[in-house]
């Protein structure tokens, strides 16, 4: 049963007239009669009782009309949904993101995107930068936010959007709190609250300490920067966080201090796997993010 013949039959059933149906469909009456007759021959049933002056549906015709109308309505809905998808109006995007990124500024960015695209669902997966890279490689997320550099740069397209220094936070009564500038060597005997090993910042801190002849004295590891702040506020240790996060901390809770020796900065990028399918919703989000972070030129280089 092809859709054209079903469409013609449904219209005849709606109008209970071949003549009126022909006018609605802008075809000749013989054409529509031939189509309906062909449909009856294919199904082996009589769909329309033509014995009286006014035609009426047979039982088989009524059944096909009810079912066929639902089929055509479903197809219209599918067409509408596909149109929305191609225009970026609907869809689902799975984004991997380190917790600090969402808290610092991405929550606002995503909120603005949702205002413009309320029917696009965004699933945020909060993990460390290295885990984000692994998930993007395995196709578990559509888009990732990572700390540069990434391990397999040739596998991904990306654009960078922020570069921020790493600062030290201590309790306001800590011995270093009154200094204008601290040195990595000052941390040799300090218990440090660290991010987990799946966070790029973990490796950067360890590497910088090694350069200065010691390994960090790790008090504990966490994936949540707010928990790290609580530990520091309880006078149990110190922590190193991006300045953009430090700037949001309440005055008097902890003291944030610049570090003389630069730890590999918190350089962020939006990335996605090369040579893989990106949904229309994902493409729209990438365009939005590139406009927001003034990276449209880099996005065009990536072919979007």
Rounded CA gap, 136 and 291, in Å? 22
Domains 91-163+267-301 and 166-264 share a fold: yes
pLDDT per position as a tens digit, 181-231: 999 999 999 999 999 888 888 988 999 999 999 999 999 999 888 899 999
Map tokens 């965004």 to a residue.
Answer: 122
Question: What are the residue boundaries of the structural domains of the chain, listed by start?
Answer: 3-86, 91-163+267-301, 166-264
DSSP string, 160-194: EEEEE-EEEEE-TTSTTTT-S-B-GGGGTTSEEEE
Mean pLDDT of 168-174: 95
Mean pLDDT of 226-244: 92
Indicate the CATH number for domain 3-86: 1.10.10.10
CB distance 269 to 180 below 8 Å: no
- Cα 179 off chain centre by: 42
pLDDT band at 275, cuts 50/70/90?
confident
- Secondary-structure class of domain 91-163+267-301 per CATH: alpha beta
Find the DSSP H helices in 44-157.
Answer: 59-86, 99-101, 107-116, 129-137
CB distance 279 to 265 below 8 Å: no
Q: Which of 157-171, 206-220, 254-268 has the highest mean pLDDT?
A: 206-220
**What is the DSSP secondary structure assignment for residue 263, as one 8-state letter?**
P
Q: Which residue has the higher pLDDT, 232 or 79?
A: 232
Cβ count near 28 (within 10 Å) = 10
Question: For the chain, how far is it from start to end, CA to CA, in angstroms?
Answer: 41
pLDDT per position as a tens digit, 60-114: 989 989 888 888 877 776 765 666 566 656 788 999 988 777 655 677 778 888 8
CB distance 224 to 99 below 8 Å: yes
Rounded CA gap, 87 and 72, in Å? 23
Rounded CA gap, 291 and 299, in Å? 9
Of 155-159, 191-195, 239-243, the poorest mean pLDDT is in 155-159
Given this model, what pLDDT does residue 83 score?
A: 63
Taking the complete model, does pTM exceed 0.75, yes or no?
Answer: no
- Secondary-structure class of domain 166-264 per CATH: alpha beta
The crossing angle, in degrees rounded to 10, of helices 3-15 and 29-43 is 110
Query: Encoding tokens for residue 183?
Result: 């040195």
Q: Which residue has the higher pLDDT, 243 or 153?
A: 243
Given this model, what pLDDT does residue 160 score?
A: 85
pLDDT per position as a tens digit, 30-50: 888 998 999 888 889 998 988
Helix (H) or strand (E) holding 138: none
Q: Enumerate the β-bridge partners of residue 255.
A: 170
Cβ neighbors of 62 (< 8 A, separation 6 or more) are none
Report the residue count for the chain: 304
Cβ neighbors of 102 (< 8 A, separation 6 or more) are 110, 124, 126
Burial 37-62 (b: 16+ CB within 10 A, else e): eebbeeeeeebbeeeeeebebeeebe
Q: pLDDT averaged over the chain?
A: 86
Give the alpha-carbon dihedral of 163, 166, 171, 175, to 10 degrees: -140
- 3-state helix, strand, coil split of the chain in percent (to 5) is 45, 20, 30
The helix/strand/coil state of 225 is helix
Given this model, what pLDDT does residue 88 score?
A: 59
Rounded CA gap, 168 and 179, in Å? 11
Given this model, what pLDDT does residue 109 score?
A: 73
Nearest Cα to Cα of residue 285 among 39, 120, 76 = 120
């Amino acid at each position: 049963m092809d859709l054209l013949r079903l469409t013609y039959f449904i219209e005849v059933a709606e109008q209970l007239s071949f003549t009126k149906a022909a006018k609605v469909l802008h075809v000749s009456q013989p054409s529509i009669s031939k189509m309906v007759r062909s449909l009856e021959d294919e199904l082996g049933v009589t769909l329309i009782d033509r014995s009286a002056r006014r035609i009426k549906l047979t039982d088989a015709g009524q059944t096909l009309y009810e079912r066929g109308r639902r089929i055509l309505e479903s197809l219209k809905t599918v067409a509408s949904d596909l149109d929305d998808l191609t225009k970026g109006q609907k869809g689902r995007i799975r984004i991997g993101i380190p917790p600090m990124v969402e808290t610092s500024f991405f929550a606002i960015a995503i909120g603005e995107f949702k205002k413009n695209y309320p029917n696009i669902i965004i699933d945020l997966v909060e993990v460390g930068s290295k885990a984000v890279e692994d998930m993007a490689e395995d196709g578990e997320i559509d888009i990732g936010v990572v700390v540069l550099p990434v391990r397999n740069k040739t596998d991904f397209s990306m654009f960078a959007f922020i570069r921020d220094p790493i600062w030290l936070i201590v309790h306001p009564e800590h011995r270093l709190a009154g200094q204008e500038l601290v040195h990595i060597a000052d941390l040799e005997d300090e218990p440090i609250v660290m991010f987990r090993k799946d966070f790029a910042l973990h490796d950067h801190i360890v590497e910088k300490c090694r350069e200065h002849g010691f390994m960090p004295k790790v008090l504990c590891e966490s994936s949540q920067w707010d928990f790290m702040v609580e530990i520091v506020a309880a006078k149990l240790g110190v922590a190193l966080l991006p300045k953009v996060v430090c700037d949001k901390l309440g005055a008097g809770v902890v003291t944030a201090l610049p570090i003389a020796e630069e730890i590999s900065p918190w350089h962020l990028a939006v990335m996605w796997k090369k040579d893989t399918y990106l949904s229309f919703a994902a493409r729209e989000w990438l365009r939005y993010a590139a406009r927001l972070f003034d990276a449209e030129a880099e996005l065009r280089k990536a072919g979007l």
